[in-house]
Amino acid sequence: MSTKYIKNKDKSVQIVRFVVQIAFSLLCIWIGIEFSQFIAYLESNGVRPFHHRPPGVEGFLPISALMSVVYFFQTGIVHPVHPAGFFIFLAIVGVSLVFGKAFCSWLCPVGFLSELVGDFGDKVWKKIFKRRFKLPRLLDYPLRSLKYLLLAFFAFAIFSMTETALAYFLSDTYNIVSDVKMYYFFANISRFSLIVIGILFFLSIVVRNFWCRYLCPYGALLGIAGLLSPNKIRRDAVNCIDCGLCTKACPSFIKVDKVITVRSDECTSCLNCVDVCPVEDTLYVRSFIGKKKISKKLIAAGVIMIFVAITGFGMISGNWHNKVPPQEYLRIHKDLDAIGHPTSTSDIKELNRSVEKGRIDGEK
């Protein structure tokens, strides 16, 4: 029997990926609950029993984390304010350097939510129009550049900062309580913010992965890192029967059936295309180092192990919990409360002036 008609017996890895996504999302929810308990302690002005601030919340502060990484390369020091964010950032980039943009499709809770919404949107479009909806190239390519423009803006602003400027910002009140302000942004969300989130949600139904594909600067960074990965999806053109199932299954609209090696900043290593291929050894992941095929199970284990190894090193090295004492948080939170939990630039400046005045008065 010709190899072109050998049924692919390799089991799908999508159930494993779904379980990993659920587990990581539940971890993020648990971190959110723990952080809300820490906020309750601050709001009670220390009356309630002390509740530790979960370091994992720093994973939602990518800009601060990038600044910490730049500061580390300038000084060799892990900044003590948000050290967990530093290691989480390195873990996410590390996963991307080895297995492409896999964080987005395996671990990211926003990516998981976007995927669920996109699946729903695809079902609606297929039921009505018998196909998935995709923006035309004239719109798709310019919109995809937006996330890179945002990344370039942040990168230019951060990489142009001196060691002194970075140290000042990272130690400043604004950065210390950036996670607290983020909490209040969602806890006391404005009508305008709700409208923006609602629009993004609707657009994600119409256009699959709208936020991830067009607006997420973190995804842009991981896409660039993923291009450097030695492990790529390859197609054996001899065995391929040109059924097109791989392209139809790709959530990023990559034309897998037209290339030999998938080199795309939009590939998230979800392995949907590999799973749907009906011919054995036609689509697979191969490393350019050693030219060996990599099993899907190994990829699943590798993504988890790299993330756990790097963040675990942060924990055992003593650079996980920040060095800000609870008393400092309580003092700063009083100033936050005094001006109504700042979110605007003017409020932040007022907070810093208030805190600085308190320091001067204390010295007197």
The predicted pLDDT at position 9 comes to: 58
Q: What pLDDT is stored for residue 322 in this prediction? A: 92
What order of strands is seen across the sheet that includes strand 283-287?
Answer: 231-235, 283-287, 293-294
Is 286 exposed, middle or buried, given 0-12, 13-18 or 19+ CB atoms closer than 10 A? middle
Q: Using alpha carbons, select from 251, 237, 204, 290 the residue that is nearest to residue 101.
A: 251
Name the pTM for this structure: 0.88
The pLDDT score that the predictor gives to residue 125 is 85
Long-range contacts of 9-18 (CB under 8 A, 24+ apart): 9/280, 10/274, 10/275, 10/280, 10/296, 12/275, 13/271, 13/274, 13/275, 13/296, 13/297, 13/299, 13/300, 14/271, 14/272, 14/275, 16/297, 16/300, 17/105, 17/106, 17/270, 17/271, 17/300
Distance CA 160, CA 163 (A): 10
Instruction: List the chain residues with pLDDT less than 70.
Output: 1-10, 336-364
Report pLDDT for 11.
74
> What pLDDT does 6 receive?
53
In the prediction, which pLDDT does 354 show?
47
